[in-house]
Amino acid sequence: MPINGEIFDSKKSKNSKYKRTNHRVLVKDDFPPEVKPPNGRITSIIGKNYIVQDLSDSHAEIECTRAGTIKSLHKNATLLAVGDYVHYSLSENKEINLGKITGIDERKTWLSRKPLIGIRDDIIASNADTLLIIMSSDFPPYNKRLIDRLIVAAKIGNLNPAICINKIDLFNDELIYEDLSVYSSLNYPLFFVSAQTGQGLSELRNYINKKELIFAGPSGVGKSSLINKLFGRNIQKIREVSNKTTKGKHTTSYARILELDTETRIIDTPGFREFGIVNIEKIELSLYFDDFKDYYEHCRFMPCSHTHEPDCAIKKAVSENKIAPERYESYINIYTSME
């Protein structure tokens, strides 16, 4: 698959090596970026095909294959992902509602993780505004190390992180609010809900209104139950596509966009067990911990990994409880897991 675009990552450039920038600079290589605006958006993936929603008022859903050559600027990541704005053309055979994807637009935001196989970053979903990290109070108990990982992934992909703890009917205790208070102090929206009893759901609904959110979390936390509650019906049923040309059904191995109303979208993602950080250099990791930012410029060494160096301002802040020790633990945990 020829892909000619080059990504110049300003985070990795010499001059700004350790400064974080919100936007990646694109260096035009030997193909000009599409001048035409995209005409579709990938809403789900079925087998080898993509369901593309036309961006015109028709909102028609067209099952597309990929063209032999696709213009893409994302050299080191999944070629086509749910949420991508694409250029597609309809098949000449009018009998079947099939199209071909010929190009994709630059991703403004993305959630990516280390691929389980292969080398390209695994883009789970793109172009949303918020990552809603969903965990449960118990069965399975929430995992703060994983929450911190997902916050880092959100920030790398220019997404706003928010946290939702479900099954609060099982463990509704002061301790849990206390235990997670570090996230509210960092100003990440934090919700305690129960898909079973309905507790906290109206606050969550108000928050998600007019946003486009990626719902992500480990299996079993009640993500599907929450989505069904928010939609007021069993959304699993509408997964099955009525399109005649579609052979398979949506599988749970990919994300899919669900429209709650015309301005609110939820991108449902498959549950996962692990989540590997990609897309940044190891030494940049601390830049994605908001609670470290008042300190890292005061480390004696620059760059400082905040692991073994003497006179490290981060370690000092941890010892003085200015940074929550558990956040530092997460930092070390992610740092050592990166290549």
Residues at the interface with ligand GDP (CB under 6 A): 166-167, 169-170, 194-196, 219-225, 271
- Within 10 A of 119 (CB to CB), how many other CB atoms are there? 8
**Letter for the amino acid at 38?**
P
- Within 10 A of 49 (CB to CB), how many other CB atoms are there? 21
Token output for 121:
């970053």
Q: In the complex, what is the shortest distance from the CB of residue 294 to Zn ion, in angstroms, rounded to a whole number?
A: 13
According to DSSP H, which parts of the chain are helical? 144-156, 174-179, 181-185, 201-208, 223-231, 235-239, 313-319, 325-337
Look at residue 66 and give the partner it binds from Zn ion, ligand GDP, none, a contact being a CB closer than 5 to 8 Å depending on partner kind.
none
Phi then psi for 158, rounded to 5 degrees? 60, 25
The one segment of 48-56, 148-156, 253-261, 293-301 that binds Zn ion by CB under 5 A: 293-301
**Is 132 exposed, middle or buried (CB count within 10 Å of its CB: 0-12, 13-18, 19+)?**
buried
**Letter for the amino acid at 166?**
N
159 touching Zn ion, by CB under 5 A:
no
Token output for 5:
């675009």
Q: In the complex, what is the shortest distance from the CB of residue 193 to ligand GDP, in angstroms, rounded to a whole number?
A: 7
In contact, 256 and 44? CB cutoff 8 Å: yes
Q: Which is nearer to ligand GDP, 209 or 236 (CB)?
A: 236
For residue 325, the SS3 value is helix
Look at residue 312 and give the partner it binds from Zn ion, ligand GDP, none, a contact being a CB closer than 5 to 8 Å depending on partner kind.
Zn ion
Q: How far apart are CA 168 and CA 192, in angstroms?
A: 6
Look at residue 304 and give the partner it binds from Zn ion, ligand GDP, none, a contact being a CB closer than 5 to 8 Å depending on partner kind.
Zn ion
Look at residue 194 and give the partner it binds from ligand GDP, Zn ion, none, a contact being a CB closer than 5 to 8 Å depending on partner kind.
ligand GDP
Q: Which is nearer to ligand GDP, 169 or 309 (CB)?
A: 169
Token output for 188:
């990440």
Q: How far apart are CA 174 and CA 156, in angstroms?
A: 32
Q: Which residue has the tokens 């946290």?
A: 163
Q: In the complex, what is the shortest distance from the CB of residue 336 to Zn ion, in angstroms, rounded to a whole number?
A: 15
Q: Which is nearer to ligand GDP, 18 or 272 (CB)?
A: 272
Q: In the complex, what is the shortest distance from the CB of residue 154 to Zn ion, in angstroms, rounded to a whole number?
A: 23
Q: Which is nearer to ligand GDP, 78 or 166 (CB)?
A: 166
Number of residues binding to Zn ion, judged by CB under 5 A? 5
Q: Which residue is nearest to ligand GDP (CB)?
A: 222
Furthest C-alpha separation in the chain: 71
Look at residue 225 and give the partner it binds from ligand GDP, Zn ion, none, a contact being a CB closer than 5 to 8 Å depending on partner kind.
ligand GDP
Token output for 46:
């079925």
Cis peptide before 140 (omega within 30 of 0): yes
Q: Which is nearer to ligand GDP, 90 or 170 (CB)?
A: 170
One character per residue 296-335, x = contact with Zn ion (rule: CB under 5 A)? ---x----x-x-----x-x---------------------
Look at residue 83 and give the partner it binds from Zn ion, ligand GDP, none, a contact being a CB closer than 5 to 8 Å depending on partner kind.
none
Q: How far apart are CA 91 and CA 98, in angstroms?
A: 5
Q: In the complex, what is the shortest distance from the CB of residue 224 to ligand GDP, in angstroms, rounded to a whole number?
A: 3
Q: In the complex, what is the shortest distance from the CB of residue 305 to ligand GDP, in angstroms, rounded to a whole number?
A: 35
Cis peptide before 303 (omega within 30 of 0): yes
Look at residue 306 and give the partner it binds from ligand GDP, Zn ion, none, a contact being a CB closer than 5 to 8 Å depending on partner kind.
Zn ion
Q: In the complex, what is the shortest distance from the CB of residue 45 to ligand GDP, in angstroms, rounded to a whole number?
A: 18
Which residues contact Zn ion by CB under 5 A? 299, 304, 306, 312, 314
